[in-house]
């Protein structure tokens, strides 16, 4: 088994456990279509790194707290406004509703495309009745 294949299988096991919650070696092996001994070695390597852990019921595995470290690196640099914009645009594409101005870009979304006032960042402006920004 080459390195890329091992990484692919390990990631598949992590995704399977994320979806399933917990699973045994046989279930993981069946999911990624490998022999039980291969799945056992993969789970052992992931357990050694803290990415999975055995449950109180011996033989069952679940995601370990070590999975939070790489996830934290991503969430620390997330721009929530930009991610929300992409989610809103995807929803708009699936429905008949509109989300915002067609000229709106993720960079401008936070400051000019949503119905907020440029004076107070509130949904309506207390300085000018009917102010939309």
Instruction: Flag whether pLDDT at 114 surpasses 50.
Output: no
Residues 6+ apart with CB under 8 A from 45: 10
* Sign of CA pseudo-dihedral 64, 70, 74, 77: positive
Quote the mean pLDDT of the chain. 76
CA angle 51, 17, 67 (to 5 degrees): 25
Instruction: Flag whether pLDDT at 49 surpasses 90.
Output: yes
Integer Cα distance of 61 and 29 in angstroms: 12
pLDDT tens, position by position, 67-93: 888 887 777 777 777 777 777 777 777
State what percent of residues in the chain have pLDDT above 70. Answer: 70
Q: In what order do the strands lie in the sheet with 60-63?
A: 22-24, 60-63, 52-54
Integer Cα distance of 110 and 119 in angstroms: 14
Instruction: Flag whether pLDDT at 55 surpasses 80.
Output: yes
Instruction: Flag whether pLDDT at 57 surpasses 60.
Output: yes
């Amino acid at each position: 088994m080459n390195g890329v294949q091992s990484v692919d299988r390990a990631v598949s096991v992590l995704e399977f456990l994320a979806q399933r919650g917990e699973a045994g070696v046989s279930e993981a092996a069946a999911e990624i279509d490998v022999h039980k001994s291969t799945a056992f070695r993969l789970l052992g390597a992931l357990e050694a790194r803290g990415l999975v852990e055995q449950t109180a019921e011996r033989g069952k595995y679940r995601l370990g707290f070590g999975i939070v470290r790489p996830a934290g690196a991503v969430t620390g640099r997330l721009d929530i406004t930009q991610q929300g914009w992409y989610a809103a645009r995807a929803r708009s594409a699936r429905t008949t509703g509109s989300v915002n101005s067609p000229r709106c870009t993720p960079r401008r979304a936070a400051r000019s495309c949503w119905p907020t006032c440029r004076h107070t960042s509130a949904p309506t402006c207390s300085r000018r009745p009917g102010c939309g920004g």
